[in-house]
Amino acid sequence: MSDPQNVHHYDGPVFHAPVTGSQFAWNNDTVHQNQQNNSAVAPGFEALAELVTGLLRELPRAGLADRDREDAESAAGEVLEAIAGPAAPEEGRLRRALAMLKGALAPVATGLATGTAVGAQEWARTAIEGLTGIV
């Protein structure tokens, strides 16, 4: 007679190794996640990092359509990646990331984005002004 096998039933993901820097939502209907990377920022870009981090925090309240919000979150992540680390960011990469972020916010700032929350237009205009002239 053979030994019975151990059978485990899990009601969620199981990891058999360390997992870092990841976010998981399990068995949700709707979820909004934000992640902050608190790594060092290139000297002189602290204010930009603070601005973009604040923008990410406020973005879910702007009332953007999911796709538009995801585009803005992705562009903001690109900006934060470009300025992360002790060395000065590559100017072209940062300029492109800032342009993507401003482009994602432009429909809100101009009032073209439908379904945005009250005050979102002014918020987006202020964010774009803060992102302008950095590079």
Q: Could you list the pLDDT tens digit for every one of the 135 residues in the chain? A: 556 677 777 677 777 766 665 666 776 777 666 666 555 888 999 999 999 999 999 888 887 788 888 989 999 999 999 999 888 899 999 999 999 999 989 888 888 876 677 788 888 899 999 999 887
Residue 31 lies in a domain: no
CA 22 – CA 128 distance, rounded (Å)? 29
Residue 78 lies in a domain: yes
Domain count, the chain: 1
Q: Which domain holds residue 78?
A: 46-131
Residue 69 lies in a domain: yes
Residue 4 lies in a domain: no
DSSP string for 18-37 = ---S-----S-S--------
Residue 29 lies in a domain: no
Q: Which two tokens stand for residue 25?
A: 């939502």
Residue 32 lies in a domain: no
Residue 33 lies in a domain: no
